[in-house]
Amino acid sequence: MLLVIDVGNTNITLGVFEGINLKATLRMTTQVNRTSDEYGLLLHDLLKVKNINIKDINNVTIASVVPKIMHSLVSGIIKYLGITPLLVGTGTKTGIKTPTANPKEIGADRMVDAVAAYEIYGGPVLVIDFGTAITYDLITEDGAFIAGVTSPGLQISANALWRDTAKLPEIEIALPNTILAKDTVTSMQAGLVFGCIGQTEYIVKRMIAESQISGCKVVATGGLGKIIAENTECINVYDPNLSLKGLKIISDKNYIGR
């Protein structure tokens, strides 16, 4: 079995593949101060809950945007699984070309999403990840990563609203029934969610227009992406496991002969 781990700023998402099948998905919060033993034991217990024996894991692949936790996480995997994980980064085979000014600036999370969207849905493709930050990445028909846009995620925007204003409360991020809000909570929800939908539609339209790429599919992922995808026609596919699938594809490309 293959264990893939997507380390984000807010959450760590894990997937276990048995062959081509995604057998289980798991999540835990991203915490910088965990020790290697804590990570090892957490992995052991999470896998056990899903009826997966840690001894059945043969390979591990990780994409991370949080460098501070990597020493403990990798050490925990080596100690408890006996496996040195593959880390997605410079030199990793991805199948995606990066004709940008500085390819090293493309985060591992964005590359993993690009690989999955391109390999599964074909190019040209615009992939949107509604994570802690919202990223929009454009991949050409021949698999070149040519442009990316980054904006604050829904949770970041929500946190700013109630942190930096004296009277606005902490709220659930949800789509209200109407944009014509009549109370504080629904007015905040309307601004956050409808604002994000409007941003998404404009950025998608502008990126496709300026690139002059026709027939571009738009694929979305990320925890809060479902709310947006269900309320706009500019997104063709919502795939909640896109990052895990990308890690599996990258694993297949790199573990051969490793």
Under DSSP, is residue 3 helix (H, G, I), strand (E, B) or coil? Answer: strand
- Residue with token string 């690009």: 114
Q: Cα dist. 208→187, 216, 234 in Å?
A: 31, 7, 11
DSSP label at residue 183: S
What are the φ/ψ torsions at residue 144 (nearest 5 degrees)? -105, 130
Burial class (CB in 10 A: 0-12, 13-18, 19+), 68: exposed
Torsion of CA 98, 247, 256, 43, to 10 degrees: 140
CA distance 196 to 85: 36
Contacts of 111 (CB under 8 A, 6+ apart): 63, 88, 94, 96, 145, 246
- Residue with token string 């493309």: 106
Catalytic residues: 109
What are the φ/ψ torsions at residue 81 (nearest 5 degrees)? -110, -15
CA distance 100 to 242: 23
